[in-house]
Amino acid sequence: MKENYYKKGIKIFWLDEAEPEYSFYDFDNYRYYLGPNVQIGNIYPKCYAQTFYEGMEKEGQKNILNLLRCAWAGSQKYGALVWSGDIHSSFESMRNQFSAGLNMAIAGIPWWTTDIGGFHGGNPGDPAFREIFVRWFQYGTFCPVMRLHGDREPHTAPLSEVRGGRCHSGGPNEVWSYGEEVYDICKKYMLIRENLKPYISDAMTAAHEKGTPVISPMFYHFPEEGECWNSSDEYMFGDKLLIAPVMYSGLTSRTVYLPAGKKWFDVWSRKEYQGGQVLNVDCSIDLIPVFSCDENICKYFA
């Protein structure tokens, strides 16, 4: 890797298949030098990240960060930016990623991302998939890392009959590939993400200095609230933004619980609410419910 990539100027790596990937997941029968897979198999992704990190560190590189498909306890020490793998393009899969990301965060790994829209399947011309894509894009705006990736349908024909040219390629997956309505929504949220850079930088600094998750389950910031321990469909992005993703098809409204003891502001309407109540809020296709306990944060959504 050093000879063929690093010395040629590559300073960040996309480290795929970090599990490792098996053809058959018969863990009882796999053996490594250190012991059976059921005892030590999960350290593989940590060691994978460590291998690259320590090599790059030895070369004098600072602020090392690599994108990995898997992680385990301790991976955060080795610059691991983790994404959730080649997941299905569906609302069910989106809900799974929502849970996985919060579990990853509370386990001490702050850098988290998903393939927006899922990886496998999904045709940009399909109205049903466009809805999934929009809702996932909105959720991705309020993740530690926001990135678009996927193997879209229909695949394009091979470019040639030699080497890599023989491979089929996924269909278009740029934000303008989904029609004008979706494109306008994507532009709206990309601008919000840009506007939020100062806020996100503060959240990243807290993660670096204190280990504070960038995204977190509601109980992390509001441990005294029983309702927050029961929450399974909203989360905090930083310490001032409450995010309530839309993770089911066809919804135009959803309920949101606002923790007690604070005033909350709907970032879209600027309307003020007292905490400790459940609201039924609008979530038309261009809106993801977002509330802030700091009115000044609302300016980023203008």
The token pair at 60 is 């004098």
d(CA 63, CA 61): 7
d(CA 137, CA 117): 7
d(CA 132, CA 244): 15
Q: From the candidates 26, 59, 86, 174, give the one annotated as an active-site residue.
A: 86
Helix (H) or strand (E) holding 44: helix 43-58
Burial of 183 (0-12, 13-18, 19+ CB in 10 A): middle
Is 19 part of the annotated catalytic residue set? yes
288 Rama sector, left if φ>0, alpha if ψ -120 to 50, beta otherwise = beta
Q: Kind of pairing, strands 241-243 and 290-292?
A: antiparallel
Q: From the candidates 3, 19, 194, 224, give the one annotated as an active-site residue.
A: 19
For residue 86, give the nearest of 100, 102, 69, 98 by alpha carbon.
Answer: 69
How many other CB atoms sit within 10 Å of the CB of residue 32?
12
Is 16 part of the annotated catalytic residue set? yes
Please provide the DSSP assignment of 233-292 as one string: S-EEETTTEEE----STT-SEEEEEEPTTSEEEETTT--EEESSEEEEEE--TT---EEE
Which residues are known to be catalytic? 16, 19, 86
